[in-house]
């Protein structure tokens, strides 16, 4: 394993399009020892209605170029090529999703980012959650998988032309999904069927079907730990399965506990529930053993630490460096 740099994600809700906040954050990150920053494109207003805004991009680039960082980009969390959102009287608009995806690739090229992170689209219960659709059938689930593959095949030449790797991220389970299954009379262990984006085997199937050298996986260690504990699969074995396909890493810490109905960090942190993005070493993820499963990996390691813990980022950089060093020591 060769970690080419340690980065931090710039996904802060309070950013809200403020370029002055962006510059302040990048300046702070530069004092913490990071090599890379992952930019959350949906926080910068550079894409509006599926179109890149050139003037806004120029303003962002004028800031990013002030700092000696490598950059990666995270696509909007809503972006979904398998289950595009729709509502009564409005057709599902896959083309619009593809426009947003293409605009993300163009933004990557503009700021020199070589990795675009895209959350797997295999999360099937969002329309059901709002009462807009019944539970999807087996045929509909399979059609969604095929649709995502076909859409990605269309988009990958654009990524390749720009020298960008698209790294599809594994997802984590949510309490609202378990609630939908319960209301539908289904056991909670049926969730992997309706949320295949958290299952490594299903993600591998998608990657192999797309079959493009610029397409692979982002493994989020925290998401995988939550999924493993909820679904009952072996965490380290899942990492070994994913290893040949991994192009990017996201790291944080949690306790593998799904939790309940509360979504705010100030409610979840005291109980250690959900994807709380703790600094590494604060939760129960076996970081050293996890990295040992990825002996062939070469790429970045992006820390995802909640802004409420950003005063600990310099310490977190040193902690993850020690973890990486111990994980790569010969036995």
Q: Which helix (H) or strand (E) holds 206?
A: helix 200-210
**85: pLDDT confidence band, cut at 50, 70 and 90?**
confident
Q: Residue 89: pLDDT band by 50, 70, 90 thresholds? A: low
What pLDDT, on the 0 to 100 scale, is given for residue 91? 62
CA distance 129 to 110: 37
Q: Give the list of residues 6+ apart from residue 22 with CB closer than 8 angstroms, or none.
A: 10, 15, 44, 60, 63
Please give the model's pTM, rounded to 2 decimal places.
Answer: 0.96
Residues 181, 166: Cα–Cα separation, whole Å: 32
What residues contact 24, with CB distance under 8 A and at least 6 apart?
A: none
Residue 331 has pLDDT above 60, yes or no: no
Structure confidence by residue, pLDDT tens digits, 204-222? 999 999 999 999 999 999 9
Domain segments of the chain as ranges: 2-327
Please state which CATH class domain 2-327 belongs to: alpha beta
Residue with tokens 């999360």, as numbered in its chain: 123
- C-alpha 134/C-alpha 204 separation (Å) is 27
Kindly indicate the confidence band of residue 137, based on its pLDDT and cuts at 50, 70 and 90. very high
Give mean pLDDT, residues 118-134: 94
Predicted local distance difference test score (pLDDT) of residue 263? 79
Confidence of residue 22 (pLDDT cuts 50, 70, 90): very high
Alpha carbons 68 and 65: distance in angstroms, whole number: 7
Q: Average pLDDT of the chain?
A: 95
Per residue in 317-329, pLDDT (tens digit) is 999 999 999 999 7
């Amino acid at each position: 394993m060769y970690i080419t740099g340690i980065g931090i994600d710039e996904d802060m809700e309070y950013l809200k399009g403020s370029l002055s906040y962006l510059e302040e954050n990048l300046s702070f990150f530069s004092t913490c020892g990071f090599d890379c920053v992952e930019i959350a494109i949906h926080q910068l207003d550079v894409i509006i209605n599926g179109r890149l805004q050139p003037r806004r991009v120029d303003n962002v680039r004028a800031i990013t170029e002030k700092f000696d960082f490598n950059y990666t980009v995270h696509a909007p969390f809503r972006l979904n090529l398998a289950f595009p959102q729709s509502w009564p009287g409005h057709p599902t608009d896959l083309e619009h999703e593809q426009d947003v995806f293409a605009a993300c690739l163009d933004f990557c090229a503009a700021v020199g980012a070589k990795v675009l992170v895209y959350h797997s689209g295999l999360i099937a219960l969002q329309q059901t959650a709002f009462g807009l659709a019944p539970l999807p059938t087996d045929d509909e689930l399979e059609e969604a998988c095929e649709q995502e593959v076909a859409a990605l095949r269309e988009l990958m030449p654009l990524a390749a032309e720009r020298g960008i790797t698209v790294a599809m991220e594994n997802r984590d389970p949510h309490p609202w999904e378990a609630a939908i299954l319960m209301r539908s009379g289904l056991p909670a262990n049926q969730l992997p069927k309706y949320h295949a984006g958290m299952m490594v085997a299903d993600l591998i199937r998608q990657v192999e079907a797309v079959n493009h050298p610029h397409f692979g996986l982002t493994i989020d260690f925290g998401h995988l730990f939550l999924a493993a504990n909820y679904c009952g699969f072996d965490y380290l074995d899942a990492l070994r399965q994913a290893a040949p396909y991994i192009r990017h890493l996201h790291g944080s810490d949690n306790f593998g506990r799904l939790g309940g109905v509360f979504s705010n960090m100030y409610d979840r942190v005291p109980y250690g529930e959900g994807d709380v993005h703790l600094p590494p070493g604060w939760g129960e993820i076996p970081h050293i053993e996890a990295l040992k499963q990825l002996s062939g990996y070469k790429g970045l390691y992006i820390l995802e630490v909640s802004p409420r813990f950003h005063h600990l980022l310099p310490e977190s950089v040193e902690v993850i460096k020690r973890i990486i060093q111990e994980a790569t020591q010969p036995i």
